[in-house]
Amino acid sequence: MQPVEKRKTRDRKHSRWLLPGLLLALTAAVILLTAGLNRKTEPEAAKEPEQGGVLIRRSAEEIETVTVTRRGGESWTVEREEGTLYPAGDRSWPVDPLVGDPLQDALAHLDYERVLTDRPEDYLSAPEDFGLGDPLVTADCRFTDGERLTVRIGDRVSGTEENWYYMTVSGDDRLFAASAGTVQDLNVEQALLHPVEQPRILAALLDRITLTDGEGKPVREWKLRGRITDPDAGENWLITAPFAYPADGEAIRGLKENAENLRMGTWYGPATTENLAATGLDRPKQRLIFHMAEGSTGTVSPDSGVYDVQNWPESTVTIALGADRDENVFWVLYQDQICAVNRLSFSAFTDTDPLSTAARYPAATPLASLSELETEENGLRTVYRLEHGENGDFSVTKNGEPLSPEVFEAAYDRLLTVTVSGRLPEGTVPGETQKKYTFRTTSGGTHTLEFWPFDALHQGLTQDGYALFYLIRDGMTELP
């Protein structure tokens, strides 16, 4: 009998780990292969869009000509001569620096916000998808050394909250994102090239604002009572048309700010007989008149920090309002120039209801400007006299007897917050005065409030001789 061969334990042990070992080796190979593939593709997957940068850096003085073509067909050219931009072929007027300087800077210092793609096939196959088939604006620039630059701006970049626009630049295949500021500097309407003389209206010196009809009759007017240097000048204005009544200080401040910021729009032409007739300014619909008193204004120099004072003579600015160009724009005449202006820029004067500017607070004299307050009721007369110190403090007497300044100030502050309740019916005749307040100011002004019966719940108010509102009966704060 032949002996039976037995399997050795050692062989069985090795065979038990053979399959797992092969699997482990295969897994490791797959991991290494995958890692290798990942290492190849990782830079592309993680690549960030290129940040903003510089395309052109030259001096604006190197620009020789610029031609701008806007979507819709408008095209114009400007050229430099002895450091000044002029319309091509016309030296009768220079380009407005407020328009020309940003235009030159945008081209001489051309920047971009992002590189959107560096593959021209991404956008050249369908330029209309980016607004580049018919660009929003194309700017062609020639420099003094003969180099040329063409910038095309398309539509707004999609897929981002940033206010960017598609842009291409000659000599570069990339598609860029341009800032809204660059677009604004390049996409200039031809009418904006002509310089426009702006009125100089100084809010601090204004003492009368008038809007007249075509015949010169005031239809809205606000007038300062007193001098512009009076401490209470801001609260001492009067509506004189279409009715007479004290004006609200905040409303007047708003009108004065609007006046100082008033700007003529785009140039139309000189005030020739033909141009005046074409714009309805041969017979203006209205005239806006700003009168400024003689005085001085001061500003702090941002460079030296010195407070500079400039003196101004008495002056008047008159602007004639003509026909409508369209629903948003009308023609105006200032000096010898006809301009198109946006209706909204003049609406504070042409559309404001004068009633909305009437004083709603009967007592409007600031405590710092008050020298005396007299009350009369049922034959009883009470006089409060104030003496103001240099440091803002004051003393007060009541019928000659000392009174606590703190107590008086608290009551007077409440008096300043009392408001009217409504407007009196048209044609109301004031009744007999039941109570009267007389405010005398440190500048010599006088203001009066007279209260009289109106109905069971209200008293009529006559303010400085003008009756327009009523308020709750006995609504005025009692003084100590």
Residues 191-217 pLDDT 10s: 999 999 999 999 999 999 999 999 999
For residues 248 and 361, what is the distance between their CA atoms, to the nearest angstrom?
8
Mark whether 283 and 233 lie in a shared domain. yes
**Distances from the Cα of 376 to the Cα of 11, 435, 441, 450, angstroms:** 127, 6, 18, 10
Q: For residue range 310-360, what is the model confidence (pLDDT) as tens digits?
A: 999 999 999 999 999 999 999 999 999 999 999 999 999 999 999 999 999
Percent of the chain predicted with pLDDT > 70: 90
Instruction: Find the mean pLDDT for residues 5-27.
Output: 34
Least confident among 9-18, 132-141, 193-202: 9-18
Do 252 and 392 share a domain, yes or no?
Answer: no
> What whole-number distance in Å separates Cα of residue 236 and Cα of residue 226?
7
- Residues 156-190 as b/e (b if ≥16 CB within 10 A, e otherwise) read bbeeeeeebbbbbbeeeebbbbbbeebbebbbbeb
CA atoms within 13 A on the CB side of 61: 2
- The verdict on 314 and 453 lying in the same domain is no
Q: What local confidence, expressed as pLDDT, does residue 57 receive? A: 96
Return the SS3 of 167. Answer: strand
How far apart CA 366 and CA 362 sit, in angstroms, is 12
Domain boundary among 141, 165, 193: 193
Q: For residue 5, what are the contacts with CB-CB under 8 A and spacing of at least 6? A: none
Could you give the number of structural domains in the chain? 3
| pLDDT tier at 48, thresholds 50, 70, 90 | very low
What confidence score (pLDDT) does residue 50 get? 56
Looking at the fold, whether 60 and 151 belong to one and the same domain comes out as yes
- Give the model's pLDDT for residue 198: 96
Lowest mean pLDDT across 12-16, 211-215, 235-239? 12-16
Residue with tokens 């407070």, as numbered in its chain:
307
Query: Residue 46 pLDDT more than 80?
Result: no
Q: Among residues 145, 167, 193, which one ends one of the domains?
A: 193
Which pLDDT score is estimated for 128? 95
Which residue type occupies 96? D
DSSP output for 18-86? HHHHHHHHHHHHHHHHHHHHHHHHHHHHTPPPP--EES----GGGEEEEEEEETTS-EEEEEEETTEEE
Instruction: Give the pLDDT band (50/70/90) at residue 307.
Output: confident
When mean pLDDT is compared across 23-37, 108-122, 304-318, the lowest value belongs to 23-37
Judged by phi (left if over 0) then psi (alpha if -120 to 50, else beta), residue 339 lies in beta
342 shares its domain with 246: yes
**Contact between residue 335 and residue 319 where contact means Cβ atoms under 8 Å apart:** no
* Higher-pLDDT residue of 438, 234: 438
259 and 389 in a single domain? The answer is no
Q: Please report which helix (H) or strand (E) contains residue 140, including its range.
A: strand 137-143
Shared domain for 119 and 250, answered yes or no, is no
Range of the domain at 416: 367-472
The whole-angstrom separation of Cα 421 and Cα 429 is: 18
pLDDT confidence of residue 9: 30
Whether residue 377 sits in one domain with residue 331: no
